[in-house]
Every structure is written in structure tokens, then in C-alpha cells.
């Protein structure tokens, strides 16, 4: 996999590159110190499978690069890396397309674990970040008045390919096996799964399968 690190602090960038160089899934690791450098890399036609992006860069927020990669290469995965763990920073990163958020002080094992989780369709976060996000959601919920639960979207909202992916994972196949069965790239499977979860208002595979069966999408 092609992995990119977007970090302007040399010591942190070197540490992350060192961790990723030891990750068996990474075939190449490239590093950039600014949004401009990363943008030029994409403009040259290079593909990035996973981006680890700092949020505070010399030429603006790393959210700009996360958003750019999500637009140009929607099957890619982006995770924010930052010392900032306030609610506003977390929300902005997620809104820009980040599927995970790791703290710069995370251990090597923690970084790899979150990357593995992202490839499995999860939204990994450092414990300190998850705590802030939970508190933010709780505080927001307390301000809201009770309302009716939004109904899951209908079967018509799932594409034929998403239905195929859902049907295959419902039978217990791994992402690698799903890719082989359907003849698609293993890197596209998590993207399909995330979209399925979103459309069915599900948080995991069991919920997605349950909703799909309830709606008659699969048997």
C-alpha cells in the first residue's frame, strides 16, 4: 500500500515514517511537510492508499489535504494526526473526510493497530481523542430535545455493488475474501462497507446485516 505522512515537524515525521516502514502492508512510505507538496504529488498522478495528516501545517490545516485526497481518490483512507484533541479540531477533521484520529504521542503499536482497524472498516481513535468526542456528543445530546429516530434509508439507496458486498460479508467472509469473490480491489472493500453502514445507519457488520434483512435487501 502507498502510505503518505503529512507532517512538518521533522522529528515526528521521521518517527512515523520509521513506524510505517516496519509495517508489512506498506509497500512505499512518502513524507510531505506542507499541503502544497502533497497536492503536487497528487497532481503528478500518484496514488495514495492511506494518508496520515497533521492538522496544523505552515500553509494551513491538514484538513485541506484530507479533503483533496477524499475528492480525488475516494477509495483512499485518511487519518488525522495531531496534538490537538479539542472537539472543534476533531469535528473538522471528520467533516473533511478523516475516518480516524490519532494523537502524536501514540505508541508504535497503537499507530499500527489503528491503521489495521481502518482497513477493517473501523473508525479508530486514540483513547484521549475518543474521550473528547464522547463528551462532545453527550453535551450536544443534552442540549437537544427528544425527537423521532430517523428511519434507515431504503434498499434503493444501496448500489448493486454495495448489495453484493453486504451479502458477501453477511456470510462471514473477510475483506480479502470479499475482494477475491467479487473481483475487486481489497482496498475498495472498506470504502463500500463504510458507505453501507452510513446508508443503513449501522455501526458494525451485525447491525448492517440486521437492517438489510429487515428491509428485505438480503435474505
Indicate whether 145 belongs to any domain.
Answer: no
Q: What is the CATH number of the domain that holds 93?
A: 3.40.50.2300
- Full residue range of the structural domain in which residue 174 is found: 155-214
pLDDT at 137: 65
Assign residue 106 a region (left: φ > 0; alpha: ψ between -120 and 50; beta: otherwise): beta
pLDDT at 40: 96
**Tens-place pLDDT, residues 172-185:** 888 888 888 888 88
Q: Are residues 132 and 173 in the same domain?
A: no
Q: What is the CATH number of the domain that holds 200?
A: 1.10.10.10
Q: Are residues 63 and 171 in the same domain?
A: no
Q: Are residues 187 and 80 in the same domain?
A: no
pLDDT at 149: 46
Q: Are residues 49 and 123 in the same domain?
A: yes
pLDDT at 176: 85
Low-confidence stretches of the chain (pLDDT < 50) are: 145-153, 155
- Domain stop point among 115, 140, 165: 140
Q: What's the chain's average pLDDT?
A: 85
Amino acid at each position: 500500500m502507498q502510505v503518505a505522512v503529512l507532517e512538518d515537524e521533522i522529528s515526528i515525521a521521521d518517527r512515523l515514517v520509521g513506524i510505517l516502514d516496519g509495517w508489512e502492508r506498506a509497500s512505499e512510505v512518502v513524507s510531505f511537510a506542507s499541503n502544497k507538496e502533497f497536492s503536487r504529488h497528487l497532481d503528478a498522478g500518484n496514488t495514495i492508499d492511506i494518508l496520515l495528516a497533521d492538522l496544523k501545517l505552515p500553509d494551513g490545516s491538514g484538513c485541506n489535504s484530507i479533503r483533496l485526497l477524499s475528492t480525488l481518490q475516494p477509495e483512499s483512507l485518511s487519518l488525522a494526526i495531531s496534538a490537538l484533541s479539542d472537539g472543534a479540531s476533531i469535528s473538522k477533521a471528520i467533516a473533511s473526510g478523516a475516518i480516524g484520529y490519532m494523537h502524536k504521542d501514540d505508541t508504535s503499536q497503537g499507530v499500527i493497530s489503528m491503521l489495521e482497524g481502518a482497513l477493517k472498516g473501523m473508525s479508530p481513535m486514540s483513547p484521549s481523542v475518543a474521550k473528547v468526542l464522547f463528551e462532545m456528543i453527550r453535551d450536544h445530546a443534552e442540549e437537544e430535545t427528544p425527537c423521532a429516530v430517523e428511519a434507515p434509508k431504503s434498499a434503493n439507496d444501496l448500489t448493486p455493488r454495495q448489495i453484493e458486498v453486504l451479502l458477501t460479508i453477511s456470510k462471514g467472509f473477510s475483506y480479502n475474501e470479499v475482494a477475491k469473490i467479487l473481483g475487486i480491489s481489497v482496498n475498495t472493500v472498506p470504502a463500500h462497507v463504510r458507505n453501507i453502514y452510513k446508508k443503513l445507519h449501522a455501526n458494525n457488520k451485525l447491525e448492517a446485516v440486521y437492517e438489510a434483512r429487515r428491509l428485505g435487501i438480503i435474505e
